[in-house]
Structure 1
Amino acid sequence: MNIEDLALHNDFYGKLLSERQQEVVHMICEEDFSLTESGENLGITKQAVSEVLRRSTKKLQSFEDKLGMIQRFQKVVSQLQAIDQELGRMDEVLNKDQHNKIQDMRQQIQNMMKQF
């Protein structure tokens, strides 16, 4: 799992990890610490950080395999983007009143996507 995927999995399921696992994943994903830097901050070896990270990654992937929240999230975002694009195309041929309604709908979609 690459760092971006790890960060995404952590956003969805990170609170289900142990406190130590949360610390390690946060340092690696959010603080951009190396394994060595993380170990120094936590008072453990680089190898211990690597093992905690490996177990955390496996656990996060297991949660996704069982719950599928990320997959569903990505599907919803994709559908919202498609709707937004279609509304944009429709907006080009509508009158001013319809244009304003379309713009309001597009803004609602954008606001929904920002909540994720």
Structure 2
Amino acid sequence: MTQIIEKRAFLCLLFDFYGALLTEKQKFVFDLYYHNDLSLVEIAQEENISRQAVYDILKRSENILYDYEDRLHLASKFIKTNDKLVNALNIINNIEQENNSDKLGKLKQIIHSVLKDG
């Protein structure tokens, strides 16, 4: 189950980075399936197409998103940067508990803003 959730979350992240490069139909179907949690049958009924057509659009879209990531690595770099910032923030929190320094507080605010905006 966790792998399914992780795959779904990663595909949504890829969509955030590369979704604009999909066709309007691909974006729409992807959004209905991954963001609105509609089933293939529900999308097929709404779009007046077959369930197989919905499946094909989704698989094609997923492959395109994975292909862009394989070439550009933007999502992977984002994840690594985010992980490093979270780790740095944890270290700062540990130091701050031992020594309440104004400089650490300012640095912590900066990292929080990067995590929030990033």
TM-score of the aligned structures, taking structure 1 as reference length: 0.89
1:6 Cα offset (Å): 1.6
1:104 Cα offset (Å): 2.5
Query: Structure 2: where are the runs of 5+ without partners?
Result: none
In 1, Cα distance between equivalents of 2:13 and 2:63: 14
Query: Structure 1: where are the runs of 5+ without partners?
Result: none
Task: Describe the superposition over 1:35-92 as per-residue Cα deviations: whole angstroms up to 9, x where unpaired.
Answer: 1111112221111000000100000000000000011001100110111111112112
Aligned to 1:105, the other structure's residue is in SS state helix
In 1, Cα distance between equivalents of 2:48 and 2:77: 38
In 2, Cα distance between equivalents of 1:69 and 1:84: 22
- Report 1:1-116 matches (<5 A): 2-95=7-100, 98=101, 100-116=102-118
In 2, Cα distance between equivalents of 1:11 and 1:89: 33
In 1, Cα distance between equivalents of 2:48 and 2:116: 37
Q: Between the two proteins, what is the percent identity of the paired residues? A: 30
In 1, Cα distance between equivalents of 2:46 and 2:117: 32
In 2, Cα distance between equivalents of 1:90 and 1:3: 36
In 2, Cα distance between equivalents of 1:81 and 1:4: 19
Q: How many residues align?
A: 113
1:93 Cα offset (Å): 2.6
Mean Cα deviation higher: 2-11 or 68-77: 2-11
Mean Cα deviation higher: 1-10 or 45-54: 1-10
- RMSD over aligned CA atoms reads 1.4
TM-score of the aligned structures, taking structure 2 as reference length: 0.88
Aligned to 2:98, the other structure's residue is in SS state coil
